[in-house]
Amino acid sequence: MAAFALLAAFSVYYGLRIQFSFDFEQFFPEGDEDLAFFREFVQEFETDDNFMLIAIRRQEGVFEQRFLEQVREFTLACRQLPHVQEAQSLTTVSYPLKTPFAITTIPVVHISEPERYAEDKARILSDERFVHNFITTDARTLTVLLKMTDKIDLGPSREFMKALGQLVARYDFEEVHYLGRPYFQKELVRMQLREIIVSAAASALLVTLLLWWLLRRFWGVFVSLISIGLGMLLFLGLLGALGRSLNALSALYPLLMIIVGTSDVVHILSKYQDELLRGKSRRDAIRITIKEIGLATFMTSATTAIGFMSLMTSRIGPIREFGVNSAMGVLVAFITVIIFTTTLLTWFSADQISRLGREQNFWNKLLNGVYLFTRMHTQPIVWGAVLLCVILCVGIARVGTNYDLANNLPRGSKITEDFQFFERELAGFRPLEFAVYAQNGLRADDPAVLRQMDTLEQFLRRFPAIQAINSVTTVYKSIHQMNNGNQRAAYRLPDDDETLEQYRRLSAKIPKQGISVLLSKDGSKARITSRVKDCGADSIKVMGIQIDRFVAAHTDPTVAKFRLTGTGLIIDKNAEYVRTSLFEGLAVSVGIISLLMALLFRNFKMLLISLIPNVLPLLVAGALLGYFGITLDAGISIIFTIVLGIAVDDSIHFLSRFKLLRGQGIAVEHAIQATMMETGKPIVQTTILLFFGFLVLLFSINPPSVYVGLVISTTLVSALVCDLLLLPVLLRRWM
């Protein structure tokens, strides 16, 4: 007890040092060739998510003098915000204007001349450089584009958002929406913290109520809760001592620790109470409990930990961290229960742990009824399992991977509302980039290469989902338009190469064209930037295939080569890796768990019997995803690991007790009945606790957490049914 008190004190110290982190780069699939290429690409140019968009909406229209003056003042003030490199809006950009003396600029909007607003509006709304970028098609929203420092992390993001909020509060804008990396980092970390607190509090309250309903004794509930709480505290202290940070999946840690700890405690409590009721002394009762249940509990903890460790096959950092951390948490919970809880239990009698009487009679009657049902309905149970497998396979075939950001943002929050506004009214969030490589000694701004780029850009405009296209060709089109009286029809590349060569020399004299971020320093490479709507990873992949085919058929590889890249492409590739790593990880887990089962039971038939009822819950989980239309992405993939790790626990407890009874010379049928009567109660109780524990996630504002809670709760019920109905049937047939 003194040792655990000391460990608890250290855990409080280190637990308070845990940091939160969120970064889109965390979800990049490591070791991917496209990721390696993208990292080289951003070193040459700059990252494609180093921006912050502020949409300012005026329902009556933006072309009103006072509103435009406020937006201009706000835009200029944004340049003074921390970590901002540049700020632009429609009120600060200009058209180039060629005069007899020099090249100058004229404002896109003549703010001080309201009589010219109608003319300005018509010209702006017909200009692809501004629509969806700086203004919406209904002319009711203006956007302010802030260029941020590259790879801004959580601390600077919080500092910037605080300063931005104070600045916005100085104006009487009707409606303001945000989109960008700093905003996502700040809000999603806040959501993580809220989810951890809410899930831990809700799970603790629910488990307390359920334990009271099951035990009806203060000391029984107290021992359970103090054991579970200590296990969670030691786990958090371990994370802090190891310097681990909490990421997007961390909200599940408290829930997993509560559930795993509760399962271990219930099995220990139940066995200890049974031995006391048989007349054993407290010392002998706890010795027998550790001897007979300790090994099974260790095996369940080991198999659960192995299930989580299977996530090590993932190429996605947060998934691997979640697997390792969860595995450590399971082992911490086991050590806490097998040492601390068993020590604490020796202070209490059977009646102090749980109320005896009618409740025990209820469990005896229920479990004996289940036993008789399995004995009398063997054939229906077998054929029912076969039919269920067919239905489940149909559901699994319907599982999709068309991942999108919108369905993974917190429900009912401003960040989701803002994201949807930009998707609906402007160009959206997902960057879509193309690297352009000039060939055979050409420069990327040579006429031949520019025309190849323009060919691709014209094709990209055929996709309604792709908008805000920009490249070095934009500069030359603007110059051509300037030389032709800024007429709308003149916004194109000139027909002859000689004119383009003149424009290249002229481009250096035109201010604020941003060529440096579109053309490499040595001129050998260029970039085409755009943004694509959040239409799903599979849909974007189809567009990418069509684009690749167009490039192969309509561009000259001896002049220029093109390659699709960008953060959006990298994140979307997660869908492919999720599937492959999921199957690889599960295969490894099943293999290792089978090896442990073989060592435990030393019987090939027992090995097969133990695996069948644990594969079915995995099929149930996959089928639920298909039937409910839940997309398989990185966050959802952990469902299978949790199901495999937890579902196998009850099978081990059941089969371990059966093997022990058979070793004492008891006949198969009597061993099945005795096992059902003794282990059935804790198996049902732990499943009830697990079911409602994971069901708490339905109250989450994070959609993946809701899906995890729904699917796992339902799947664990199916695992209970398999253990109580299918296991006895298999044991009768094969043993």
DSSP string, 174-222: SEEEEEEHHHHHHHHHHHHHHHHHHHHHHHHHHHHHHHHHHH--HHHHH
Neighbours of 487 (CB within 10 A): 9
* Plot region of 119 (φ>0 → left; ψ -120 to 50 → alpha; else → beta): alpha
Predicted pLDDT at 463: 92
- Compute the C-alpha angle 454/450/137, nearest 5°: 35
Whether the pLDDT of residue 579 is over 70: the answer is no
| Contact of 558 with 440, CB cutoff 8 Å | yes
Neighbours of 387 (CB within 10 A): 10
Instruction: List all residues 6 or more positions away from 309 whose beta carbon is below 8 Å from its beta carbon.
Output: 323, 324, 327, 589
Q: Report the C-alpha gap between 330 and 261 in whole angstroms.
A: 8
Inter-CA distances, 227 with 2, 265, 567, Å: 15, 8, 44
Highest mean pLDDT among 443-452, 616-625, 655-664, 690-699: 443-452
Give the pair of three-digit tokens for residue 693. Answer: 């524990």
Residue 584: closest CA among 398, 302, 306, 314: 314
Average pLDDT, the chain: 85
Q: What angle do CA 627, 629, 635 make, to 5 degrees?
A: 115
Q: Count of CB atoms within 10 A of residue 691's CB? A: 18
Strands 141-148 and 19-20: unpaired
Q: Could you say which DSSP state residue 565 is in?
A: E
Greatest C-alpha distance within the chain:
109
pLDDT value for 268:
87
Q: Say whether 689 sits in a helix, a strand or coil.
A: helix
pLDDT at 294: 83
Q: Find all residues with CB under 8 Å of 400, minimum gap 6, and list them.
A: 538, 626, 629, 631, 632
Nearest residue to 296 (alpha-carbon basis) of 673, 682, 664, 591: 682
Local structure of 167: helix, strand or coil: helix
Is residue 432 within 8 A of residue 463, CB to CB? The reply is no
pLDDT band at 453 (very low <50, low <70, confident <90, very high): very high
Does 602 have pLDDT greater than 80?
A: no
- Whether the CB-CB separation of 301 and 330 falls below 8 Å is answered with yes
Nearest to 323 by CA among 647, 718, 637, 56: 637
Element (H, E) at 725: none
Mean pLDDT value across residues 293-318? 80
CA dist list (Å): 235 to 238, 490, 727 = 5, 66, 34
Please give the DSSP secondary-structure letter assigned to residue 135: B
Q: How far apart are CA 570 and CA 228, in angstroms?
A: 40
Quick one: pLDDT at residue 533?
Answer: 87
- Check residue 387 and give its pLDDT: 93
Domain boundaries, the chain: 48-185, 217-353+363-397+573-734, 418-572
pLDDT at 146: 94
Q: Is the pLDDT of residue 317 over 90?
A: no
Query: What are the tokens at 728?
Result: 């006895």
Residue 471: name the closest of 520, 531, 527, 430 by CA. 527
On the question of pLDDT at 688 being above 60, the answer is: yes
Q: What is the mean pLDDT of residues 245-263?
A: 79
Q: Element (H or E) spanning 357, and its range? A: none
Instruction: Name every residue whose Cβ is closer than 8 Å to that of residue 600 and which is 6 or more positions away in sequence.
Output: 295, 299, 652, 656, 659
Tell me if 578 sits within 8 A of 634, measured CB to CB.
yes
Mean pLDDT of 559-565: 92
Other CB atoms within 10 Å distance of the CB of residue 32? 16
DSSP H or E run through 529: strand 525-532
Q: Sign of the CA dihedral 376, 379, 385, 388?
A: negative
User: What percentage of the chain has pLDDT greater than the value 90?
Assistant: 29
Rounded CA separation 338/294 (Å)? 7
Q: Identify whether the C-beta of residue 173 lies closer than 8 Å to the C-beta of residue 144.
A: no
Task: Name the one residue in this structure whose structure tokens are 């001592």.
Answer: 241
- State the Cα–Cα distance between residues 174 and 62, nearest whole angstrom: 11
Q: Is the pLDDT of residue 576 over 70?
A: no
First to last CA, the chain: 44
The 3-state DSSP class for residue 557 equals coil
Q: Which of 237, 252, 290, 241 is CA-nearest to residue 645? A: 252
Residue with the larger pLDDT of the pair 682 and 87: 87
**pTM for the full model?**
0.78
Residue 386 buriedness (CB in 10 A; 0-12 / 13-18 / 19+) = exposed
If you average pLDDT over each of 80-94, 591-605, 685-699, which comes out highest? Answer: 80-94
Least confident stretch, 62-76, 103-117, 134-148, 299-313: 299-313
Which residue is it, tokens 């840690």?
253
- For residues 573-583, give the mean pLDDT: 65
Q: Which amino acid belongs to residue 101?
A: F
**How far apart are the C-alpha atoms of 314 and 330, rounded to whole Å?**
20
The dihedral through the CA atoms of 632, 50, 26, 712 has a sign that is: negative
Position 586 scores a pLDDT of: 67
Whether residue 339 contacts residue 657, with contact meaning beta carbons closer than 8 Å, is answered with: no
pLDDT of 27: 66
The model's pLDDT over 319-363, given as tens digits with 9 standing for 90+, comes to 788 889 989 999 999 999 999 999 998 888 877 877 665 566 788
Could you read off the pLDDT of 210-250 as tens digits, one per residue? 888 877 788 888 888 899 889 999 999 999 999 888 776 77
Nearest by Cα to 332 from 264, 386, 398: 264
Q: Is a pLDDT exceeding 60 seen at residue 60? A: yes
Which pLDDT belongs to residue 561? 94
Q: Which CATH architecture has domain 217-353+363-397+573-734?
A: Up-down Bundle (1.20)
Q: Is 299:598 a contact under the CB 8 Å cutoff?
A: no
- Lowest model confidence (mean pLDDT) among 20-29, 472-481, 643-652, 680-689: 20-29
